Amino acid sequence: MKGIFLILLHLVNMLWPPAKVRGRESLDLYTQVQDEKAALLLNGMNERFPLKGKIVLDLGCGPGGVDYFLSRMGARVIGIDTAFFYLHHAVHYKRENGPSFVQGDIHALPFRSNSIDIVLLIDTIEHVSVPSQVIKECYRVLRDGGLLFVAFPPFYGRRSHHLYDYINIPWAHLLFPSEVLADYWKAKFKRDFRSGKVVLFPFKPKEIDEKVKFEQIFSLNKLTVTQFDKIVQGVSINIIFKEEYSFLPSWLRLRALREIYVDYVVYLGVKEPSSKQH
């Protein structure tokens, strides 16, 4: 049966337009794309809550594009990630004074409580093992009145499967078995790895051989909008801005189907002062 699904997946994937993902050619270009995305996401926040002089913690910083943007805005930036592969590039990207980078687990942040002005989770929260623990850690390290900025693609979005380097079928993760998607993606990845084309993934073929499901390849936790809403309700963080981005016009968005049509969601929250906590 798996063989039939693999053939069907290959045929449908051939008919679907290939993905156009900027930044896949090199880590430098990927970092530049991160920088540009940070400008799009954070310029509005910077106008209302100036970044200059603020201590900003970027969780899951990757190769550092977001951090270099923040540094240019005058922030004191610390990026943290588990992957040395990315951190090594981040440190040497521009060789200029600016961001600091730390290797560590964001489930247990190596920072004092009430010491950070702004915490960012951009395209990160969907990859962590325990999202609620990460948010609790964000709350702990934030100062009273500090900001939490979170942006991620909810799991049931069109391309939230993260397979778009080789599979561009919308909602492929809802249409095909997880094991089939993993086998197909790994075969394509190994082909490119052998030819020297892969530069962006912090793992090698032998490290993903035992990962049977596609979610395991990218450490996806299947986080949804509804689940994240409940997580932030469990801590004293007041959401002052939330935007759901969708391919559908607003008049066609039925709330009951929200998880299917929301491709990306952005939150901005404020840590309530201790005196207001119950």
pTM recorded for the entire structure: 0.94
Termini Cα distance of the chain: 55
**pLDDT tens figures, 144-184:** 999 999 999 999 999 999 999 999 999 999 999 999 999 99
Q: What is the CATH number of the domain that holds 80?
A: 3.40.50.150
Give residue 208's domain range: 1-273
Q: In this structure, what token pair is assigned to residue 75?
A: 């922030």
Within-domain flag for 125: yes
Residue 17: phi, psi to the nearest 5? -55, 135
Taking the chain (278 residues) in consecutive chunks of 10 residues, what is each chunk's mean pLDDT?
92 87 86 95 95 97 95 96 93 80 97 98 98 98 97 96 93 96 94 83 85 94 97 95 94 90 97 69
**Is 1 inside any structural domain?**
yes
Domain count, the chain: 1
- The answer to the question of residue 241 being in a domain is yes
Give the Cα separation of 136 and 109 in Å (integer).
Answer: 10
- Structural domain includes residue 235: yes
Q: Does a structural domain hold residue 177? A: yes
Q: Is 278 inside any structural domain?
A: no
Supply 72's token pair. Answer: 């240019």
Does residue 83 fall inside a structural domain? yes
Q: Which is nearest to 126 in space by CA: 149, 155, 103, 147?
A: 155
DSSP 50: -
CB 121 within 8 A of CB 147: no
Please state whether beta strands 116-122 and 55-59 pair in parallel, antiparallel, or not at all (unpaired).
Answer: parallel
